[in-house]
């Protein structure tokens, strides 16, 4: 699994962990919903860039490079945005 697939999988896990839909996730990040939808689509060739990855981590109180970690990243220590 490449970095783009890992980031996509962890971003989806982050949304689920915080009980967010794509619109709410996009609003939290200050990004257009269409952009998030395009990034998270299974068949998408678009990649989550470094700056957006770091923004996701910072917004949801995850450690730096959390989004880049392989399996188990969704259970890594961090703070739930709403918990």
Question: What's the confidence (pLDDT) of residue 42?
Answer: 85
Give the whole-angstrom CA distance, residue 74 versus residue 45: 23
The mean pLDDT of 27-56, rounded to a whole number, is: 94
How many CB atoms lie under 10 A from the CB of residue 37? 15
3-class state of residue 43 by DSSP: coil
Question: What's the confidence (pLDDT) of residue 72?
Answer: 53
pLDDT grade for 43, boundaries at 50, 70 and 90: confident
Give the pTM: 0.80
């Amino acid at each position: 699994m490449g970095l783009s697939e890992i980031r996509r999988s962890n971003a989806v896990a982050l949304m689920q962990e915080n009980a967010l839909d794509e619109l709410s996730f996009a609003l939290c990040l200050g990004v257009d919903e269409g952009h998030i939808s395009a990034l998270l689509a299974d068949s998408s060739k678009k990649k989550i860039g470094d700056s957006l990855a770091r923004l996701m981590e910072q917004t949801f109180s995850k450690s730096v490079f959390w989004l880049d970690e392989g399996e188990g990243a969704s259970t890594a220590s961090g703070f739930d945005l709403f918990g």
